C-alpha cells in the first residue's frame, strides 16, 4: 500500500512530556534493512520553552534532530523550519542505488549528497526568514540527520547536536561538534574532560540560518543488524556521560525505552537545557523470511 507523507512521517516540536514521546514502531527501510525507532524530547528543568525539534521517517530510514536558538521563541521556529525543510526535500524519496558520478556527488553516494543538499536548503530558508523579519534576526539551529539505506547510514550535521553508533557495547561518536571548545580540544589546548566544564560550550562555530551558505559535514557509516544509531541535542550530551548513554542502549535495547531513560537521566542530572534523543535499531530482514517458511 502506498503511504502518504502524513502516515509515514512523524515529527514534532514537543513542548512537554505529555505528548506520547514521538513515535516508535517498526518500519522497513529500503534495501531489505529494517529499523526500529524511538524518540523522546523534554523542555528540561530550567528552560521555559522547548526549542528542539525532531523527525522520524522510519519507513524512509530518516532521522533528524535540531536544536534551535535565537531567543523569544524563535529558536523553535528555526528548528521546526529545518526539520520541515529537510523532510520536504527528501519527501518519500528512496535511494535509487545508482552510483553517482563524481561531479554529481563529490565522491559521496547520491543519497548522502541529497541529504547534505536538503540541509543547505534548510539553511537558506531560515536565513531568508531571519533577513525578512528583524525579530527573527538571531534565530538559528543545529542539525544532525541520519539516512539509513541498506547497510550504510548517511550522516550530516551542522553545530553541536550529535550522532553516535553503538555496536556490541562499543559507543562511538559519528560527528565532531562545530563549537569553540571542540576546536580547542582538537588544537590540544583543552582536554576532553575539561571541555565539559567550559563556560564557552555555548559558542557554536556553525549553525543553520546565520549565513547565506553553510558547510555541511557528511559521512557514510557502515551499519549492520544489532547496531543502534543515537542522535541527540546537547541537552543530553552535557548532562549524561557517554558511558551512561551506551549502558542505556546495552540494558534496554528498545528504542523508545532508551530515549525515555536518557531524557529522565538528563533531567535527574539537572535538566539545564532542552533534551531530545532519537534512536534507531538496525535490524535484519532475515528473521521475517525465516519465520514465514
Q: What residues line the site for Ca ion (CB under 5 A)?
A: 67, 233-235, 273
Q: How far is CA 156 from CA 115, 219, 235, in A?
A: 7, 7, 19
Q: How far is CA 24 from CA 12, 34, 115, 173, 176, in A?
A: 13, 13, 22, 23, 27
Q: Which three cell numbers stand for residue 2?
A: 502506498
In the complex, the smallest distance separating the C-beta of residue 238 from Ca ion, rounded to whole angstroms, is 8
In the complex, the smallest distance separating the C-beta of residue 83 from Ca ion, rounded to whole angstroms, is 15
DSSP 123: H
DSSP 42: E
Give the CA radius of gyration of the chain.
18
Nearer to Ca ion, 38 or 44 (CB): 44
How many whole angstroms separate alpha carbon 81 and alpha carbon 209?
10
Alpha helices in the chain (DSSP H): 5-8, 74-89, 102-105, 110-132, 180-187, 192-195, 234-237, 242-252, 255-268, 286-292
Nearer to Ca ion, 227 or 234 (CB): 234
Q: Which three cell numbers stand for residue 8?
A: 509515514
In the complex, the smallest distance separating the C-beta of residue 54 from Ca ion, rounded to whole angstroms, is 13
How many whole angstroms separate alpha carbon 214 and alpha carbon 205?
11
In the complex, the smallest distance separating the C-beta of residue 51 from Ca ion, rounded to whole angstroms, is 7
In the complex, the smallest distance separating the C-beta of residue 153 from Ca ion, rounded to whole angstroms, is 23
In the complex, the smallest distance separating the C-beta of residue 171 from Ca ion, rounded to whole angstroms, is 21
Nearer to Ca ion, 61 or 235 (CB): 235
Nearer to Ca ion, 223 or 263 (CB): 263
In the complex, the smallest distance separating the C-beta of residue 204 from Ca ion, rounded to whole angstroms, is 10
Q: Is the dihedral of CA 162, 71, 213, 115 positive or negative?
A: positive
Q: Which of 76, 113, 63, 2 is nearest to 228 (CA)?
A: 63
Amino acid at each position: 500500500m502506498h503511504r502518504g507523507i502524513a502516515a509515514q512521517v512523524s515529527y514534532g516540536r514537543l513542548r512537554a512530556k505529555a505528548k506520547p514521546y514521538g513515535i516508535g514502531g517498526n518500519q522497513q527501510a529500503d534495501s531489505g534493512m529494517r529499523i526500529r525507532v524511538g524518540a523522546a524530547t523534554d523542555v528540561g528543568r530550567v528552560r521555559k520553552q522547548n526549542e528542539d525539534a525532531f523527525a522520524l521517517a522510519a519507513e524512509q530510514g530518516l532521522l533528524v534532530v535540531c536544536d534551535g536558538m535565537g531567543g523569544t521563541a524563535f529558536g523553535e521556529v528555526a528548528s521546526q523550519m529545518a526539520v520541515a525543510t529537510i523532510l520536504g526535500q527528501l519527501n518519500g524519496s528512496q535511494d535509487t542505488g545508482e552510483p553517482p558520478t563524481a561531479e554529481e556527488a563529490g565522491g559521496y553516494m547520491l543519497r548522502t549528497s541529497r541529504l547534505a543538499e536538503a540541509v543547505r536548503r534548510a539553511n537558506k530558508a531560515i536565513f531568508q526568514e531571519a533577513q525578512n523579519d528583524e525579530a527573527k534576526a538571531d534565530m538559528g539551529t543545529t542539525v544532525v540527520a541520519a539516512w539509513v539505506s541498506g547497510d550504510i547510514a548517511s550522516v550530516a550535521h551542522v553545530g553541536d547536536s550529535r550522532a553516535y553508533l553503538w555496536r556490541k557495547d562499543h559507543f562511538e561518536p559519528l560527528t565532531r561538534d562545530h563549537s569553540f571548545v571542540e576546536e580547542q580540544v582538537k588544537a590540544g589546548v583543552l582536554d576532553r574532560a575539561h571541555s565539559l566544564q567550559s563556560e564557552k560550550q555555548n559558542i557554536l562555530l556553525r549553525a543553520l540560518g546565520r549565513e547565506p551558505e553553510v558547510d555541511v559535514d557528511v559521512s557514510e557509516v557502515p551499519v549492520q543488524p544489532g547496531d543502534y544509531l543515537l542522535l541527540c541535542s546537547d541537552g543530553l550530551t552535557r548532562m549524561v556521560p557517554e558511558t551512561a548513554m551506551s549502558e542505556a542502549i546495552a540494558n534496554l535495547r528498545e528504542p523508545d525505552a532508551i530515549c525515555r531513560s536518557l531524557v529522565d537521566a538528563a533531567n535527574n542530572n539537572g535538566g539545564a537545557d532542552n533534551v531530545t534523543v532519537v534512536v534507531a535499531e538496525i535490524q535484519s530482514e532475515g528473521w521475517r523470511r525465516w519465520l514465514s517458511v
